[in-house]
């Protein structure tokens, strides 16, 4: 008996037909897998998983929020804002929160997909909580204490930024900074003012007008990358650099979420974005929230662009500045 083989038009015997059919089936399966991968239906990770150990401590710390204003803040790792946590897309984060403060605290990672009722619950004084989550998406994310009243815990300093570096990096910047905008209320216990959204100060990285005294620095023509998070807890940020245009803005810091030629970008409380800009001329370039009542109460700084060599300054320059919070280890079976 003879028949026509699949897609060939060649006559064959029954003895060879099953072999050809198996080869054709394998070929069709291979094409299906390639098409599925191209469509983004799955990603095969053939590399080893990296486990990143992150430890935060809930603490009480005296901080200076303005030249004439020192106060006790509720902090992570005695830092206001909390330390920048920098991991890579696909990393497994082995996280521990230790509560060394005098009240219940908790954690909420906007970068994590994990059950709220299991992992974001309150940790009593003297206790700790440990869990794992995977950094599935690249970008810049917010973390904060979620204990009730959440607005008070955030307003008093329990927040920070997570930078998840993409698996396939975008263009490497010459200068890289993390900026966290937040509101400072009259006293740590003035929940009424917090609920009314009437802060005393709005600040970048914990202090009013911080980068007027300590400008961010760059040289003409350098690629500057700003990761910006709005900690709130109430006010939107209208982030803008006077005298410049953002060449690219990545919503939530994800390289796939790109806009070009942006003048001002809105960041809601709990949101973030990454800004790329190149400034060709020397000079001073103020960075502000264009919600001007907030700029005039402290959310104001300067990028100083000059040809002479200058140190890279800022809350989080390129590289790891969070070794107190993060440790890395290879693990093939997280």
Q: Is 113 exposed, middle or buried (0-12, 13-18, 19+ CB in 10 A)?
A: exposed
Q: Which two tokens stand for residue 31?
A: 């094409």
Q: What is the 8-class DSSP label of residue 123?
A: B
Which H/E stretch holds residue 130?
strand 128-134
CATH code at 175-305: 2.60.40.420
pLDDT digits (tens, 9 = 90+) for 207-235: 999 999 899 999 999 999 999 999 999 99
pLDDT digits (tens, 9 = 90+) for 138-168: 999 999 999 999 999 999 999 999 999 999 8
The band of 313, judged by pLDDT with boundaries at 50, 70 and 90, is very low
* Four-residue CA torsion sign, 272, 174, 93, 207: negative
CA-based R_g, the chain, Å: 25
Look over the chain and give the mean of its residue pLDDT values, rounded to a whole number. 85
pLDDT digits (tens, 9 = 90+) for 279-301: 999 999 999 999 999 999 999 99
**Predicted TM-score of the model (pTM):** 0.81
Q: Delimit the domains of the chain by residue range.
A: 2-38, 50-170+321-330, 175-305
The band of 102, judged by pLDDT with boundaries at 50, 70 and 90, is very high
pLDDT digits (tens, 9 = 90+) for 188-209: 999 999 999 999 999 999 999 9
CATH class of the region 50-170+321-330: mainly beta
Is there a common fold for 50-170+321-330 and 175-305? yes
Dist. CA 321–CA 319, nearest whole Å: 6
More confident residue, 334 or 184: 184
Q: Which two tokens stand for residue 74?
A: 């509720």
């Amino acid at each position: 008996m003879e028949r026509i083989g699949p897609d060939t038009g060649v006559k064959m015997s029954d003895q060879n037909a099953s072999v050809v059919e198996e080869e054709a089936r394998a070929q069709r399966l291979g094409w299906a897998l390639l098409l599925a991968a191209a469509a983004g239906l799955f990603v095969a990770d053939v590399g080893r998983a990296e486990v990143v150990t992150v430890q935060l401590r809930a603490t009480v710390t005296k901080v200076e929020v303005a030249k004439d204003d020192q106060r006790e803040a509720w902090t992570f790792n005695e830092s206001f804002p909390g330390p920048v946590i920098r991991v890579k897309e696909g990393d497994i984060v082995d996280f521990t929160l230790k509560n060394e403060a005098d009240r219940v605290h908790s954690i909420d990672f906007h970068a994590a997909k994990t059950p709220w009722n299991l992992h974001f619950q309150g940790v009593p004084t003297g206790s700790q909580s440990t869990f794992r989550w995977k950094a599935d998406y690249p970008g810049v994310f917010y973390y904060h204490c979620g204990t009730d009243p959440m607005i008070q815990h955030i307003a008093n300093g329990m927040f920070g930024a997570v930078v998840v570096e993409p698996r396939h990096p975008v263009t490497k910047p010459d200068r890289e900074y993390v900026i966290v905008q937040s509101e400072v209320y009259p006293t740590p216990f003035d929940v009424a003012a917090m609920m009314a959204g009437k802060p005393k100060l709005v600040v970048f990285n914990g202090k009013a007008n911080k980068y007027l005294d300590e400008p961010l620095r760059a040289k003409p023509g350098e690629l500057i990358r700003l990761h910006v998070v709005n900690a709130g807890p109430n006010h939107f940020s209208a982030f803008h650099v006077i005298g410049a245009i953002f060449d690219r803005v990545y919503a939530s810091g994800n390289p796939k979420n790109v806009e070009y030629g942006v003048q001002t970008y809105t960041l809601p409380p709990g949101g973030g974005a990454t800004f790329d800009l190149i400034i060709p001329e020397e000079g001073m370039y103020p960075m502000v929230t264009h919600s001007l009542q907030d700029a005039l109460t402290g959310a104001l700084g300067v990028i100083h662009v000059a040809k002479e060599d200058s140190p890279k300054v800022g809350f989080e320059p390129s590289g790891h500045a969070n070794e107190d919070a993060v440790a890395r280890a290879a693990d093939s079976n997280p």
